[in-house]
Amino acid sequence: MTGILDKFHVEHGVHGGRVLARAQELTAYCTTDEEVDGAIELLKDDLDACGRELKRLLKINRGSLFEGWPSGKDDLLDA
């Protein structure tokens, strides 16, 4: 998943998840305060979207990997 601006990428696997920047240049050159505010606001929105996606992926993967397998709490000798 990438954000709206395609500046960030969400990566997840067995070690957890992370957000990566696709490039070193995240904004264009800004010459006014309004341009700075606008560029940073877009990046914040993009990171928020990536954060929501990362939380969604972590929630999905949290317990389903070994679903149905006996846990350490199960008493297998009584079966």
Query: What is the per-residue pLDDT for 12?
Result: 86
Within a domain: 77: no
Which residue type is seen at 71? S
**67, part of any domain:** no
pTM: 0.69
Specify the pLDDT at position 6: 80
Give the pLDDT score at 39. Answer: 94
Predicted confidence at residue 67, as pLDDT, reads 59
Residue 29 to residue 14: CA distance in whole angstroms: 38
Question: What range does the domain containing 15 cover?
Answer: 1-24+31-62
Residue 43: how many other CB atoms lie within 10 Å? 17
Asked whether residue 79 is domain-assigned, the answer is no
**How many structural domains comprise the chain?**
1
Collect the ranges in the chain with pLDDT lower than 70: 1-4, 62-79
